Structures are given as C-alpha cells and as structure tokens.
Structure 1
Amino acid sequence: MLAGLIFAIEEANDRPGTLVATLPFGGMTLLEYQIRLLVGAGAEQVLVAVGKMTPALLAAVNRAGRREVNVEIVRSAEEAAEKIADDSRVLVMADGLVTTDPVVDRMGHEGPEALLVTDDAGSPAAIERLDMRDSWAGVARISVAQLRQIAQMPEDYDFQSALLRVAAQSGAAHVPLTASWLRGGHAVEHSASGLAARNTGVLAALTERRVDWADRWVFTRIARKALPELVSRNVPAWGLIGGGGLLGLLSLSAIGFGWEGSGLVLSLLAAAVLATSGAMAALRGEERRAQGIEWALLALFGGVALGCGWIERVRLDTTTPLVLAIVALAAQFLVERAPSRHRRWWASPSAHLLLLTPFAFTGFVQFGLRAVAIYAFVTLAAAIEGTREKA
C-alpha cells in the first residue's frame, strides 16, 4: 500500500501567522494540491504532519478528505508510524513543495527507499544538503521502520530533517531531478508571491498532457493562456463544460441549417473551451471528468462529421459523404481506445475539426470528409501496428 506524508509546519515568509500549506495554489490550497498528487499516484492514506492547527489548515484537510482518501493529522513520527500499516511505502512531501504528476508517479513506484535529489545547491528545489554533491529536492520514499527510528529520537528533533537524515544514512537511492521536471515547476516555496509565480508554470505543464499536433500547437496554447486567469477567478469546472456544450450545440445547429463554415468555427471554439476544462479537471485531480471531456471532444467531432455528411447527402443526392463521416468516426473511436502510445502526427477529434474547417468554408465539405476519413484510417493502421510491436 502507498501512504503519503505531507509536512505542513512552516509559516509563509511574507504572511506571518499563515502556514505555507494553506496558501492558495491552483484554485485550491497548496496542501490540497499535494494531496491531489498523492491520490493520483495511488495513495490510499495521507498523513499531514503539523506543528500547530489553524482554522485554514483544518478546513483544507476536511475538503481534501472528500477525495475518497483517508486524510489524518499527526504531530510526531511516533503517531505517524502507528497509523500506517507495516508493509506500506511512505511517500514524503516537504513543506512548501510544488511539483507535478510525473515526479510523484516516479517516486511512488514500488522499490527500496529513495530520495529525489538535485546536484545544484542553488536550485529552487534544493532544501537540505545530503553530501558534497547532492541536495534533497523535496520528495522521499521511505519505510514505516524508518518512521519508527525517528520516533525513538528526543522530543525536540525536527521531524522533516530527522526523516531526511535517517533515509540518507540507510543508503536510500538518489533519484536525480530531471530538467523537464524542473521546467514543469518543481520547487520548494515558502512565500505567497513565490507560489503565485510557480502557479503559472505548473498550470502550463498540465496543458501539455495532450500530445497530438492540433492540441499542442493550437488548443494547448489557448488553454495555457486562459487557465491561469480562470483559476485565479475561481471559475467553476461546470461553467466551462456548460460553455463548451452550448457552443457544440450551436455548431450542430448551424450545420443543420446548411451553414457548415460557421458551424465548424463554433466547433473549434467548443473544442478550445473543452480542452481548457480538461486541463482544469486534471489540475484538480478529477481524472474521470478529464477522461469524460476527451470523449466529449470525440462526440463533438462525430456530431459535426455526421451533420456535414447528412447535409452533403441531401445536397449532392449521394450517400458517399455520410458513409465517409461514419468511417472517420468509427476509425477515430478505435484510435482513442488503442493501448499504443499516441504519436504527435496522429489524428484526434480536434485535428479533424481543424482539417475539415477550410473545406467547409470553400464549399468542398465532401472532400474534407474524404480527407478526415483517410487521416483517421491511416492513424488507426499506425495504432494497430504500434500495438503489434508492443506485443
């Protein structure tokens, strides 16, 4: 079992009396964000080590406890060791740590004790020096036995520092902090201003989840600019989803009236809103919602393609455009379910919408449907071949 241990003891440098863990970050508190990362890595239990209780900390713990994970407050290593099962792996997060899913997922893997380290003592991720070369970078994987070792120390010990020393002396493996993790926003901050600066970087990293060319070059850029503003204004997730759904319905209505060009433009706007809402869902750890939004984008493309195919069928008195739309949708559905790793050039619902738009404006929708059908079919062939190579 994986358990999490988060330190929430230090006060913010620029806000005396306010714990760093309760500072706002990503539309929630830093503590809630850290718990979200642990839950995403598979933690079934999270302990929060505190020095003092504040109303803001208690409120954050109560909110985080609604994520189908057991969140408890502890004040010592002895208390923490008593609450965690003997065979558990304990993933530790330093006070004020800002990081991302790839870092936590990597450190949460099964294996012996490990410390995330950086060889740059001046790095914003460096907390405490371990030896002549490496400094601790804020994440550790330890055992319950090591927690019990710390519990035997005098009462005036520093919990976090003692834990680090015990792990280092036991020969814990050093996992280097990569440049990509550092660019993604990994750092330790003890000020509200520092967290605010990190907030934008982490939000930008979250928008990189979608790898295809259309999302990376178009929709991700839109989400990257919009997400920080939306989060800072506490825009609810349902507001974005509702807006994307409304734009999608308007798009289908326009296509139904024979205005394919206008309908495609509205569909692109709907895709941009839905992509942004997907990034927001990922930030808040709502993986089911994020996955649901991906399927909503496929449904949007399907509706647009079938609508255009039907209009062209009536206009040209041939079923070919409708058949092409069905083929494109069926092939893309199979691509979305393919277990092989998606490539940058592969088709996606948003890529199909971009490809179809210029054909709709020039009055050659039937050729656009042919293009997306071929694109989806070629991508499906690549996905099947990738699955065979993996097998």
Structure 2
Amino acid sequence: MALASLIIGCSERDDDNRGLRAALPFLGQTLIEYQVRQAAAAGASHVVVLVERLPAALVGAVDRLRRDGIVVELARSVADAADRIHPDERLLMIGDGVVVRQDVIDRAARVDAPAIFTLPDSADMQRFERIDADARWAGIATLDGTTLRRTVAMLGDWDLQSTLLRRVVQADAVRHEAAVGSVWLVDRAEEARSAEAQLLSGKGADFLPSSLSEAVTHFLLGRNIQPIWLRIGSISLSALALPAFASGWITVGALLLALAGPVAAIPKRMDGVALRAAKWSRFWRMGRDSLAACATVILAGRLAADGAGWGVWALGAILIGLMAANAVQDRLTNHSFLNAPVMAGIFLPFAFFGYPVGGLGTCALAAFAALLAGQQLVARKLRDMPLKQI
C-alpha cells in the first residue's frame, strides 16, 4: 500500500508569543515544514497537514515545500483531512509539535500498521501523552486510512490526535520503543533551540571539529543567517586569493582558499540536517573550483617569474586537470575524496616554509591518489549493481 502522512499542527505555543507550535522557527524553517520534509524523506507520497487556522508563516512554508516538489495539502478540519487520505493507504501520523530523529521516522514508515512508538514513563517524559502505567506516546504512529475515517465519523468534539491514539492502541498495535533522546516535544522557542542542538550534535562538518561546527551553526540559526550568505562568503574568500597570489602573498592566498572550505561546509551541514535540498550546489562547487584553477595559473606565473622555471607551468596544468577529473568523479560517485580547499590546506605549510613548488607537486600527487580511490569506488559499485541495470 502507498504511504501517506498526516501531521497535526493545531496547538498553541506555550510561551509569551502568540501563535502555533507548527509555526515555530526550526532549523531555518518552520517546525511543520521540517516535519513534512521528514515524512517525504521517509517515503510518503503525499502529506496532509491539519491546521485549524493558517498564519502567514505556514502559507510560506507550504509554498516552499511545493517548490521543492513535495506534495503537501492543507486540511482545515478533521473531516477535510480524512477526505484527503485514501482508505487503503498506510498512514504515518506525526503528533503536534513532535520532533523525532529521522531514523525513527524511517523505521515508522517501514513497519506494518497499526503500530505506535513509545517512550518509557519517566519523570523526563511527563509532557508526552500517557498510554498506560509503563509507556507514553512518542508522537509517531502508523495506521490506515480506514481507521482515520472511522475515527472522524465518531469524533464529535473530541481531540483527533488523542482519539486516534486510543483507537490505534485498542487495535492491538505493535509497540516500538523510541530511544530516549531521539524524540522531543516542542512547545516554545527555547525548546526548539534545544532540539536543534541535539539534532546537530555528533554531525560535524568537513574541515571543522564537531564542537566548533555546532557552535557556529547554533550562532547562525539563532540569528536567522541564511546559508546562501555563507556560500557567497566562501566564493568571496576564493576570489580574494587571486590578488593575493598575484601580489606574491602566497601563504595568504593559500590560507584564503583553505578557509573557503569550512565556510562552505557549514551551510551544507545545516541543509543536510534540515532535510533541505542544497540549491545550486553544483554551481557553487564549480565557481569555487574555477577560482581555484585561476589561482593555480596565477601562482604558476608568479613562481615562473621568480625563477622556478617553465616546469611549474606543466605542474600547474597537471594539477588543474586532476582537479577537474576529481570534480567530475565526485558528481558520479556522490562522494568527495579531495577538493580545492583541502588541496589548499595541503599546500599551505609548503608555502609557509618557502617550498611552494614542492607544495604544488604534493597537491598533484594527492589529487592523483584521490582519483584512483574514486575509480575503485566506481568499480565496486559496478560490481554490486545487478546485471540488468548495467
């Protein structure tokens, strides 16, 4: 059966700011937007969001989701929500204000209905809805469209979320325990920040230690700094390396190219955790690589003028060719073994100690090794691919 998702977003925030839990800012978007992306990533063919009122923040969220190709519908009443779910569809229900790690959502999408995900009844879980003396509801359940329609038919003035939960429990749903620390109930802005921090923990970006990357990411999220500005900053750092090399400030130019890497990795990490597709990612990579290639040409010219000989031109051309081959290979394998900022980091100590030609040679060897590693990955994927797909 096809998988659909029902996400409930009717409850008010429990803080001084009026509004819905669903409209709380979360990972650079609204909370409901993040929940919809989670359901879509788990395989839901379409998502129905139940909201009794529609603030502007939710309208914008739905527009962004639809631009990203996610089929999402808004239902203003429980009857409207039931009409948008086919009776034979498996239904993934996500509770109001619930934030869950994606692996739990993926598990829920795979289990047979009816099923509920539970948390142990402890002092820290008091805000979650009680199921029995030993368990509380983790905010995730699977059922079918028929159960939803039957519940709506007898609902009256009862709360849909709680009533659906009771119907699923009474249907002898299989219980799956969600790990403590994988589910949060977000009611206010501070709780949203705390959930963000825990979702981002342990997912360090390239080039940066995990703790530093987390601190920078939290700073950016807290000030609503959009990822595009960091990507522009990365391109700007690469561009500034060109006049630095032309002026003979080789160490400064290498440092600028190397710094472009972590600056670009932070928005990539933010988009990855937030389940957003990185816009124009190939464009940003091509722009940074093109500037790095120009910097290599300028550096080769500077070194040749300083007496390094014509061989440095050949070394620069080889390095640019290997960089281009690695970039193409990275797109094919969806895995990056080496890129321009990493090579700049390899070159930096050579430039600092006055051996730039040796640094170029070392970068060329590293790029060749990365190319060989990528070829082995491609060969392994081809071996594992079924014959009919080759």
- Aligned AA (1:60): A
Q: What is the TM-score of this pair, normalised by structure 2?
A: 0.80
Say if 1:8 and 1:48, in contact at 8 Å, map to a contact too: yes
Name the residue aligned to 1:317: 310
Q: Secondary structure of 1:240's partner?
A: helix
How far apart are residue 100 of structure 1 and its match? Answer: 4.2
- Aligned AA (1:259): W
Name the residue aligned to 1:82: 83
How far apart are residue 109 of structure 1 and its match? Answer: 4.7
Say if 2:116 and 2:141, in contact at 8 Å, map to a contact too: yes
Alignment of 1:126-205 (within 5 A): 127-130=128-131, 134-178=135-179, 182=182, 186-204=183-201
Structure 2: unaligned runs, 5 residues or longer:
385-390
Structure 1 stretches of 4+ moved >6 Å: none
Say if 1:347 and 1:379, in contact at 8 Å, map to a contact too: yes
Change (3 A) 1:61 1:3: farther
365, 376, 387: which one pairs with 1:385? 376
Say if 2:49 and 2:72, in contact at 8 Å, map to a contact too: yes
Say if 1:313 and 1:321, in contact at 8 Å, map to a contact too: no
250, 268, 272: which one pairs with 2:258? 268
- Aligned AA (1:316): G
CA distance in 1, matches of 2:328, 2:252: 28
- Identity percentage over the alignment? 28
Say if 2:238 and 2:292, in contact at 8 Å, map to a contact too: no
How far apart are residue 92 of structure 1 and its match? Answer: 1.8
Change (3 A) 1:24 1:308: same
Change (3 A) 1:246 1:13: same
Q: Secondary structure of 1:289's partner?
A: coil
More moved, 33-42 vs 88-97: 33-42
How far apart are residue 313 of structure 1 and its match? Answer: 5.2
Greater Rg, structure 1 or structure 2?
Answer: 2
How far apart are residue 289 of structure 1 and its match? Answer: 1.7
Name the residue aligned to 1:95: 96
Map Cα deviations across residues 19-54 of structure 1 (whole Å, 9 max, x no partner). 22223333333223323433444545332223x42x
- Aligned AA (1:149): R
214, 218, 238: which one pairs with 1:224? 214
Say if 2:351 and 2:359, in contact at 8 Å, map to a contact too: yes
Q: CA RMSD in A?
A: 3.4
How far apart are residue 309 of structure 1 and its match? Answer: 4.5
CA distance in 2, matches of 1:290, 1:111: 38
Aligned: 1:353 with 2:347: no
- Aligned AA (1:370): G
Say if 1:7 and 1:160, in contact at 8 Å, map to a contact too: yes
CA distance in 2, matches of 1:330, 1:171: 58
CA distance in 1, matches of 2:275, 2:124: 27
Name the residue aligned to 2:236: 246
Name the residue aligned to 2:118: 117
How far apart are residue 103 of structure 1 and its match? Answer: 3.9
Q: What is the TM-score of this pair, normalised by structure 1?
A: 0.79
Change (3 A) 1:16 1:247: closer
- Aligned AA (2:266): T
Say if 1:113 and 1:140, in contact at 8 Å, map to a contact too: yes
Map Cα deviations across residues 277-325 of structure 1 (whole Å, 9 max, x no partner). 3234446554132734455555555454455455445543214421441
Q: Secondary structure of 2:129's partner?
A: coil
